[in-house]
Amino acid sequence: MTIARLKNLTASLTTAGLDAVVLNPGPTLTYLTGLHFHLMERPVVLFVTADQAPLLVLPELELPKVEMFPYKVQAIPYGELPSEWDDAFRKAAQVLGLDGKLIGVEPRQLRLMEFNYIQTGAPKARYPDASETLAALRLKKDQEEIEAMRRAVKIAQDALEATLPQIKIGMTEREVSSELVVQLFKHDSDPELPFSPIVSSGPNSANPHASPSERKLQAGDLLVIDWGAGYNGYMSDLTRTFAVGDVDDECRKIHEITQEANAAGRAAGKPGVPCAAVDIAARDVIEKAGYGKHFTHRTGHGIGMEGHEEPYMRGDNMQLLEAGMAYTVEPGIYLTNRNGVRVEDDVVVTENGVDVLSDMPREIRVVG
């Protein structure tokens, strides 16, 4: 599998007009190698060219991992003295003949530290953004990847179901979040979660990216829980909104509207449809209900080895959906200083629609 992925990348380099790409520890490196390297103070960089064996610069202590590569790889190890690390990168550039060439980089992942070492080795090279080329490798998930994501969804849903009976009026958002994290690990999530759970209540729930606080849950609050799990390196990302005790009629109304928007967004996805259509379908429901200005973010984002990756469900994104693409559908309504709602599911595009990986009830449920 990883050998095929490497071949796809080397073929893509020619198409993109790149002589090489450089990767440091992160999802793309793991996708191409099946191995996990630490992102730490010692640089680890894989150089991939179109016509030579990949070359890995790494600390000596990581050298045993070279034997675990699924294909032939050249290795240039270095010792503990930082003063000698430049030489390892100069040697790498010389071995591959990279100075003066076009070396693609992944701006969201490559740190300045690694980039400086790479540039020291190839000072006359140019370093264009290779995000599009690299994202295309992971854009369409195979069946093994989809099943890992399905498992990550089940773990997340089971963990929240185990948490809900413990939620009581007077608990803090942070206490709810802590219990949910414990349950995620009890239900077999990977140690690395896609993100720390968002648990926000009352006025805090009107902030889409609120952090759990010491605020105590009160009757009449809406409670937004945005959480996910990991399984074999693949992520889930879900949101459900709950009523803490009795809530007013408008809270129930905006929850119902958001549910309808979520359903419309899910129904809009199929091969050949632009990503924008998913956003428009969900947004149209909220706008027609008179709450358009309170839906302040895109309808969704891709998901896989990262919690956020391509493709993005924005109104201006005309990228066409294809079978195997996975993304979230997460419309919301946020009434500043009052309450907010979000309902989020994970879907995968099939040959004639979408497979909704999440099935936890979307209707408003009472906790506390």
- The stretch 258-280 carries a mean pLDDT of 98
- The stretch 7-12 carries a mean pLDDT of 96
pLDDT tens track for 16-31? 999 999 999 999 999 9
Which pLDDT belongs to residue 2? 86
Is 110 in a helix, a strand, or coil? coil
pLDDT tens track for 179-212? 999 999 999 999 999 999 999 999 999 999 999 9
| Spatial contact of 368 and 167, defined as CB atoms under 8 Å apart | yes
Average confidence score pLDDT of the chain:
97
pLDDT tens track for 86-117? 999 999 999 999 999 999 999 999 999 999 99
| Residue 196 DSSP code | P
The terminus-to-terminus CA distance of the chain in angstroms comes to 48
| Spatial contact of 121 and 98, defined as CB atoms under 8 Å apart | yes
31 φψ region: left (φ > 0), alpha (ψ -120 to 50), beta (else): alpha
Q: How confident is the model at residue 7 (pLDDT cuts 50, 70, 90)?
A: very high
- The stretch 339-367 carries a mean pLDDT of 98
pLDDT tens track for 295-319? 999 999 999 999 999 999 999 999 9
d(CA 42, CA 167): 43
Is 338 in a helix, a strand, or coil? coil
Which pLDDT belongs to residue 300? 98
* Amino acid identity, position 314: R
Which strands, in side-by-side order, build the sheet including 300-302?
309-313, 300-302, 326-329, 345-349, 354-356
- The stretch 139-157 carries a mean pLDDT of 98
Calculate what percentage of the chain has a pLDDT beyond 90: 99
Which pLDDT belongs to residue 1? 76
In this model, does residue 258 exceed pLDDT 90? yes
Q: Which domains does the chain have, with CATH numbers?
A: 2-138 (3.40.350.10), 143-367 (3.90.230.10)
pLDDT tens track for 28-87? 999 999 999 999 999 999 999 999 999 999 999 999 999 999 999 999 999 999 999 999
In this model, does residue 288 exceed pLDDT 80? yes
pLDDT tens track for 224-246? 999 999 999 999 999 999 999 99
Which pLDDT belongs to residue 267? 98
pLDDT tens track for 159-168? 999 999 999 9
